[in-house]
Amino acid sequence: MRKSIAISLLFFLSSTYVGLTFAAETAGLDTAAIEQLTGAKGSYNEKEKVFKVSAPRTDLKLIIAGVKMIPALGLTSWAAFIPAKDGVMVMGDTVLLESQVAPVMTTALENGLEVTALHNHFFYDSPKVMFMHIGGHGEQNKLARAVGAVFAKIKETSTTNVARPAVNIDPAQTSLDPKKVESIVGAKGDLKDGVFKITLGRTSHMHGIDVGNAMGVNTWAAFAGTDSQAVVDGDFVVLESELQPVLMALRHADIEVVAIHNHMTDEEPRMVFLHYWGIGSTDKLAHGLKAALNQTTL
């Protein structure tokens, strides 16, 4: 009898200790609140003190070179939370169809998250999928709610039949007014082969050498079409501190961001490159680019 009581007492104390230890390890993270606000289930990594929620893209019918892709092969959106000195930090990745990138990016930015990268993970995928990385730092519930808004937007747009945007533009028929674009953007450009292009160089430093415009450290915009219906595509080179406001300005102008990545390594200051694409009047597109340029020190 005494032996049975002793064993029961030992089990109770052990269970209590484990419970207290888990509570201590998750101090600073309300995992139940994170799951509720993100709408996703998570798991706690005791070693790294990280709580990670996942949202597998089970809705995608993706084929890559004949391979049927499932979430376990890299089609899961996720967000990981870790305690920080004045709140928490979150990092994550989202799996998006091309048509979902613009609305999901806007949702992330407007809810206070940072968008830190946008790129592909595969070749030959059908339908095409992109991966958008997110991050943030601050109060736990605010960030969890923002992640929840992103996950909700993914679900909302996953069933939307979005037609591929298309316009009838041939650079050989370009008739837009370059001076109008120059006046709005505040920079000179050149018209060649039906494409009006503005290039603005920046300078960085790597391997003991100054690298600038001629080495590809530049922001550029290429226009074609008419003043009423034009296309613009190009590249922004920005400091890390400029990335989020530039993204916000472009999205407010309905200009799509199609890639965010680095072109160099070991450069100082650190530079980030983002590629964009927009369709509309030259007036609207040029004003959108100007708004984004105003967020930089160019």
The predicted-structure confidence for 185-221, as pLDDT tens digits, reads as follows: 999 999 999 999 999 999 999 999 999 999 999 999 9
Local confidence band at 26 (pLDDT 50, 70, 90 cut-offs): low
| CATH number for position 95 | 3.30.1460
pLDDT exceeds cutoff 50 at 295:
yes
Q: What is the mean pLDDT of residues 265-289?
A: 97
pLDDT at res. 161: 61
233 in any annotated domain: yes
pLDDT exceeds cutoff 50 at 9:
no
Say if residues 248 and 287 touch (Cβ distance below 8 Å). no
pLDDT exceeds cutoff 80 at 46:
yes
Q: Are residues 30 and 153 in the same domain?
A: yes
Domains in the chain, number: 2
pLDDT at res. 2: 52
Give which of 218, 215, 221 is closest to 190, Cα–Cα. Answer: 221
Quote the domain boundaries for residue 234.
171-293
Q: The pTM is what?
A: 0.88
Q: Which two tokens stand for residue 195?
A: 């494409």
Q: Are residues 219 and 135 in the same domain?
A: no
Query: Within a 10 A sphere around the Cβ of 19, how many other Cβ atoms?
Result: 10
Sign of the CA dihedral running 240, 241, 246, 248: positive
Q: Are residues 187 and 125 in the same domain?
A: no
